[in-house]
Amino acid sequence: MSPVYLDNNATTRVDPAVVGAMLPFFTEQFGNPSSMHAYGASVAEAVRKARQQLQALIGAGFEDEIIFTSGGTESDSTAILSALEVMPGRKEIVTSAVEHPAVLKLCAHLEKTRGVKVHIIPVDHHGRLDLDAYRTALTPQVAIVSIMWANNETGTIFPVVELADLAREVGALFHTDAVQAVGRLPVELKSTAIDMLSLSAHKLHGPKGIGALYVRRGVRFSSMIKGGHQERDRRAGTENTPGIVGLGMAAELALKFMDETKRIKWLRDRLENGIIQRIPNTSINGDPQERLPNTANIGFEGIEGDAIPIVLSRLGIACSAGSACASGSLEPSHVLIAMNAACGAVRFSLSRDNGEDDVDRVLEVLPAITEKLRAVPSAGLCGRGAEQLHSGPGPSGTIADAHSGAVRSSST
Among 33, 72, 127, 394, binds ligand PLP (CB under 6 A): 72
Helix (H, G, I), strand (E, B) or coil at 139: coil
What is the dihedral sign for C-alpha 21, 22, 27, 31?
A: positive
Q: Which of 66, 148, 247, 249 binds ligand PLP (CB under 6 A)?
A: 148
For position 243 contacting ligand PLP by CB under 6 A, the verdict is no
Dmax (CA) for the chain in angstroms is 71
Considering the complex, state which of residue 73 and residue 96 has its C-beta at the smaller distance from ligand PLP.
73
Strand pairing partners for 320? 347
Q: How does DSSP classify residue 304?
A: -
For position 181 contacting ligand PLP by CB under 6 A, the verdict is no
List the one residue from 6, 78, 95, 100 that touches ligand PLP (CB under 6 A).
Answer: 100
Name the minimum Å distance from CB 348 to ligand PLP. 15
- Site membership for ligand PLP, residue 378 (CB under 6 A): no
Closer residue to ligand PLP in complex, CB, 245/366: 245
Query: Could you say which of 12, 146, 156, 180 contacts ligand PLP (CB under 6 A)?
Result: 180
Closest distance to ligand PLP from the beta carbon of 181 (Å): 9
Query: Do residues 310 and 402 touch, judged by C-beta distance below 8 A?
Result: yes
Q: Are 45 and 238 in contact (CB under 8 A)?
A: no
How far is C-alpha 33 from the chain's CA centre? 30
Q: State the DSSP H helix or E strand holding residue 283, giving kind and residue range, or none if neither.
A: strand 282-285
Nearer to ligand PLP, 102 or 160 (CB): 102
Length in residues, the chain: 412
Task: Find the shortest distance in angstroms from Cβ 198 to ligand PLP.
Answer: 7
Q: Is 285 within 8 Å of 321 (Cβ atoms)?
A: no
| Shortest CB 152 distance to ligand PLP, Å | 4
Give the three-state DSSP class for 311.
helix
Binding site for ligand PLP (CB under 6 A): 71-73, 100, 102, 148, 152, 177, 179-180, 200, 211, 412
